[in-house]
Chain A
Amino acid sequence: MRPARKVLRTLLAAFSVAAVLTVSACTTATPQTDTADSSEPAHLVFWNTGGDEEVAVLRAVADRYIAAHPGTVIDIQAVAWADSHAKILAAATAQEGPDVISGGLSWGNEFGALGGMLDLRQFGITERIQPMVAPGSWHSVEAVDGAVYGVPMDMTLYLFYYRSDLLAAENITPPATWEDLTAAIEHFEGKGVENPFVMTWSTLSWLQYTNFLKQAGGDWYSDDCKTVTVNSPEAVTALNYWADLHRKHGAPNEEPDLASGLESGDIVMANGGNWNLSGLDTSHPDLAGKWDVAVLPSGPGGAGSFIGGRILGVMSYTEYPAQAADFIEFFYTDEAVTALQEAAQANGFLWISPRAELVDKLVTTDTAKAALKTTLQTAEGPPNCPGWDKSSPDIDKALQEVVLNDADPAAKLGEIADLLTRNLTG
């Protein structure tokens, strides 16, 4: 081929590549959507992060909302927890997808900070909702700058499950403090039970550790998110205690099945989420009357635990922002909460509304209700400080290194603190 032609060919190739790159740069920008008039009946698509069985429950609420707002159409779809984050991100990127989503407590701040979800303050609903919501839950969803991109949809709390008959037989009262817990564990170990105490709902991660951190009187950040406070003596105490539960007392590193463990007596005591309350008796009738719940044991710093749950938020590209916000606010009405609790009850699980005063209305045992109410007083959700989500895998790793590889707790907490401080501004 003649030299000139070769040069031309190369230039053409380079130009095409450059053109493609430029065009791709332009098209990656996200298109804008128009919003409909807020008085128009809306067609809302609602993605619920959770199981299929919840769709029926949410349908009950949606139908009531539709009855009050004729012409509205609400499509509800369940999305599995494992896939949900990725799918919501894909929707946010393409500016197309659901109008309302439910997701992890921290997702509102995550997506909101990037412009993927709407600040709900603009609809005025946050002022009305905030007084109704348990403070521990609300604090997590409020961003540092005061924005609220998601409001709590439900709450999940940690409870202490135990075999009441086995404990009674040994004349042990349900442990109220760390010392009580250790004593109880050692007692059962002496009787030949290998791992009397297990921790479910998140094993070997920052979530479970937060329980102990709070009980020791420590915290991840200061309240204003300006300083990282996790490398404190209290945190070290908590880390040592928690790690020993695994190292010395054999708490499994992976979540075992709570129900069958309790039934067989392999598990005598456990930390677990409140969802087990409704399932245990129905799935394992042999357990009836043999188990009970209490508040998590207190540490040197008092009581404390983690609140989980989900938020409801509005995607930024929605055509019906006002109606979506209105639908979200409906979840807090007495009517909706009753419908939710009834439907959940009928489907065999418990729904704890973020409206703390309604815990009394839950259909469960009195001890459970008392435990839930007490727990709610001191429970707090995940930190709402910038950079928290980014840091969590590394935090998990550092914590796991203490538990599994006997790393020095103070050193690891120092590393975690450095990471969190860097990500606060980074």
Chain B
Amino acid sequence: MSITEVRTEPRTPAVKRKRRPHLRRNLPGYLMLAPFLALFAAFLVWPLLNSLYLAFTDFNGIKPPNFVGFDNFERLWTDDARFRKALGNTSLYVVFSVGLTTLLALALALAFRTTSLRDKTMRTIFFLPSVTSSMALFLIWGWIFDIEDFGLANTVLSWFGGGSVAWLSTPELAVPILVFISVWGGAGYGMIIFVAGLNAIPEELYEQAEIDGASPWRKFWHITLPLLRPVTTYVLITSLIGAFQVFEAVYIVFRTTASNVGGVLDSALMIVPYLYDMGFGKFELGFASAIAWTLFIVIFIVSTVQLRLTRTLKDL
């Protein structure tokens, strides 16, 4: 900008002068943002809002929807035993699946964090499930837990002297089996992230602690854990959100037991399978939308609580 320009425009309003150069300067930015934003709006935002609307209707998929106010939510929260069962199962599943996966992932990371061939091999072995087709894996698990004597699970059980078990149709075993499958499949991914976090902790801190005479346990508790906090939070939150949304494991592994999604006595019923069953099995798409938004509220509350907890722990 030359001196002459300043003199000839002494009193241009500040707002007006800023707007045009802003757009011109940042037009490429808007253009680069546009494709993502347009598709995001069309296929994520609009459908979400549409489903929010549907949650307050009695939409059954075929006839036009009628507004019913809070009826769906009222029914869901006060008068639905299946939902309570699903909520209970899901909560149990989330707690154990996320907890055990994180612990195992951390243990694996601590054990196999170097670049030695042994450690690299072990890491690959544990990470293998994460890169294998999930459909294939669930089918294999269904086959392993088959009721017949020649199923792998029953064969292993017979080595320890046990008789054959009807794994998938025994209500008490449903959630544990799902937790097992989840930990088996998820520990590897968490391990990789923890390894990255561990390797980012500067060696000097440990050396200093050694000089000060700290035991391995103290080093772990006072150096490793606190510095792993961001990584741990990341692993916890993402596993949490993912675990709440469990669907395919239930739908495929428990497909052959009982005629409903969720197995015998709804023992494997989780929130999303219930949503699917209500929406596509029973035509209650409005109700199913209410379930989905309820799930959102649950996830939201749990993640907020978890974040607050982490913050409070940090200050302790």
Tell me if chains A and B make direct contact, with any CB pair below 8 A. Answer: yes
Residues of chain A touching chain B, judged by Cβ–Cβ distance below 8 Å, are 17, 20-21, 24-25, 28-30, 82, 85-86, 89-90, 92-93, 110-111, 114-116, 202-205, 207, 252-257, 260, 389-390, 392-394, 396-397, 400-401, 404-405
CB neighbours (8 Å) of B81 from chain A are 394
Whether B166 and A114, one on each chain, are in contact in the complex, defined by CB atoms closer than 8 angstroms, is no
Whether A92 and B62, one on each chain, are in contact in the complex, defined by CB atoms closer than 8 angstroms, is yes
Whether A204 and B62, one on each chain, are in contact in the complex, defined by CB atoms closer than 8 angstroms, is no
Task: Determine how close the nearest CB of chain B comes to the CB of A407; give it in whole angstroms.
Answer: 11
Whether A260 and B148, one on each chain, are in contact in the complex, defined by CB atoms closer than 8 angstroms, is yes
Whether A89 and B280, one on each chain, are in contact in the complex, defined by CB atoms closer than 8 angstroms, is yes
Interface: B26 (CB within 8 A):
no
Candidates A89, A204, A253, A401; contact of B61 at CB < 8 Å: A89
CB neighbours (8 Å) of A254 from chain B are 147, 166, 168-169, 256-257, 264
- Which chain A residue has the least Cβ–Cβ distance from B266? A397
Can you name 8 A-B residue pairings with CB atoms under 8 Å? Answer: A17-B49, A21-B53, A29-B64, A114-B62, A252-B166, A253-B169, A254-B169, A396-B258
CB neighbours (8 Å) of A203 from chain B are 169, 258
Whether A86 and B281, one on each chain, are in contact in the complex, defined by CB atoms closer than 8 angstroms, is yes
Whether A85 and B280, one on each chain, are in contact in the complex, defined by CB atoms closer than 8 angstroms, is yes
Whether B64 and A253, one on each chain, are in contact in the complex, defined by CB atoms closer than 8 angstroms, is no
Residues of chain B touching chain A, judged by Cβ–Cβ distance below 8 Å, are 45-46, 49-50, 52-54, 59-65, 81-82, 147-148, 166, 168-171, 255-260, 262, 264-266, 276-277, 280-283, 285
CB neighbours (8 Å) of B264 from chain A are 204, 253-254, 400, 404
CB neighbours (8 Å) of A256 from chain B are 147-148
Task: Determine how close the nearest CB of chain B comes to the CB of A6; give it in whole angstroms.
Answer: 15
Task: Determine how close the nearest CB of chain A comes to the CB of B201; give it in whole angstroms.
Answer: 43
Question: What 10 pairs across the A-B complex have the smallest Cβ distances?
Answer: A254-B169, A86-B280, A24-B50, A253-B169, A93-B61, A29-B64, A114-B62, A116-B62, A393-B260, A254-B147
Contact A257/B148 with A20-B46, A30-B62, A404-B264 known, Cβ cut-off 8 Å: yes
Alpha-carbon distance A93/B288, docked complex (angstroms): 15
CB neighbours (8 Å) of B65 from chain A are 25, 28
CB neighbours (8 Å) of B256 from chain A are 254-255
Alpha-carbon distance A401/B266, docked complex (angstroms): 11
CB neighbours (8 Å) of B45 from chain A are 20
Whether B49 and A115, one on each chain, are in contact in the complex, defined by CB atoms closer than 8 angstroms, is no
Whether B281 and A85, one on each chain, are in contact in the complex, defined by CB atoms closer than 8 angstroms, is yes
CB neighbours (8 Å) of A28 from chain B are 50, 54, 59, 64-65
Alpha-carbon distance A25/B81, docked complex (angstroms): 30
CB neighbours (8 Å) of B257 from chain A are 254
5 new A-B contacts, CB < 8 A, other than A114-B63, A257-B148, are A24-B46, A394-B81, A394-B82, A401-B265, A404-B264
Alpha-carbon distance A117/B166, docked complex (angstroms): 40
Whether B64 and A21, one on each chain, are in contact in the complex, defined by CB atoms closer than 8 angstroms, is no
Task: Determine how close the nearest CB of chain B comes to the CB of A411; give it in whole angstroms.
Answer: 15
- Which chain B residue has the least Cβ–Cβ distance from A389? B282
Whether A92 and B61, one on each chain, are in contact in the complex, defined by CB atoms closer than 8 angstroms, is yes
CB neighbours (8 Å) of B148 from chain A are 256-257, 260
Whether A396 and B260, one on each chain, are in contact in the complex, defined by CB atoms closer than 8 angstroms, is yes
Task: Determine how close the nearest CB of chain B comes to the CB of A242; give it in whole angstroms.
Answer: 15
Candidates B52, B63, B169, B265; contact of A115 at CB < 8 Å: B63
Contact A24/B282 with A254-B257, A257-B148, A404-B264 known, Cβ cut-off 8 Å: no
- Which chain B residue has the least Cβ–Cβ distance from A202? B259
Alpha-carbon distance A405/B264, docked complex (angstroms): 12
CB neighbours (8 Å) of B281 from chain A are 85-86
Alpha-carbon distance A114/B170, docked complex (angstroms): 37
Alpha-carbon distance A405/B171, docked complex (angstroms): 10
Alpha-carbon distance A256/B281, docked complex (angstroms): 26
CB neighbours (8 Å) of B53 from chain A are 21, 24-25
Alpha-carbon distance A25/B286, docked complex (angstroms): 12
- Which chain A residue has the least Cβ–Cβ distance from B167? A254
- Which chain A residue has the least Cβ–Cβ distance from B257? A254
Alpha-carbon distance A17/B53, docked complex (angstroms): 11
- Which chain B residue has the least Cβ–Cβ distance from A94? B61
Whether B258 and A204, one on each chain, are in contact in the complex, defined by CB atoms closer than 8 angstroms, is yes
Alpha-carbon distance A254/B265, docked complex (angstroms): 13
Task: Determine how close the nearest CB of chain B comes to the CB of A264; give it in whole angstroms.
Answer: 9
- Which chain B residue has the least Cβ–Cβ distance from A87? B280
Alpha-carbon distance A228/B257, docked complex (angstroms): 28
Alpha-carbon distance A90/B171, docked complex (angstroms): 32
Residue from B49, B64, B276, B283 whose CB has the most chain A CB atoms within 10 Å: B283
CB neighbours (8 Å) of B282 from chain A are 389-390
Whether B259 and A396, one on each chain, are in contact in the complex, defined by CB atoms closer than 8 angstroms, is yes
Alpha-carbon distance A417/B169, docked complex (angstroms): 26
CB neighbours (8 Å) of A205 from chain B are 258-259
Alpha-carbon distance A260/B276, docked complex (angstroms): 34
CB neighbours (8 Å) of B265 from chain A are 397, 400-401, 404-405
CB neighbours (8 Å) of A255 from chain B are 147, 256
Task: Determine how close the nearest CB of chain A comes to the CB of B299; give it in whole angstroms.
Answer: 21
Alpha-carbon distance A93/B61, docked complex (angstroms): 5
Whether B82 and A114, one on each chain, are in contact in the complex, defined by CB atoms closer than 8 angstroms, is no
Task: Determine how close the nearest CB of chain B comes to the CB of A271; give it in whole angstroms.
Answer: 16
Task: Determine how close the nearest CB of chain A comes to the CB of B50; give it in whole angstroms.
Answer: 4
Contact A93/B147 with A21-B52, A28-B54 known, Cβ cut-off 8 Å: no
Whether A93 and B168, one on each chain, are in contact in the complex, defined by CB atoms closer than 8 angstroms, is no
Alpha-carbon distance A93/B280, docked complex (angstroms): 11
Whether B46 and A114, one on each chain, are in contact in the complex, defined by CB atoms closer than 8 angstroms, is no
Whether A207 and B46, one on each chain, are in contact in the complex, defined by CB atoms closer than 8 angstroms, is no
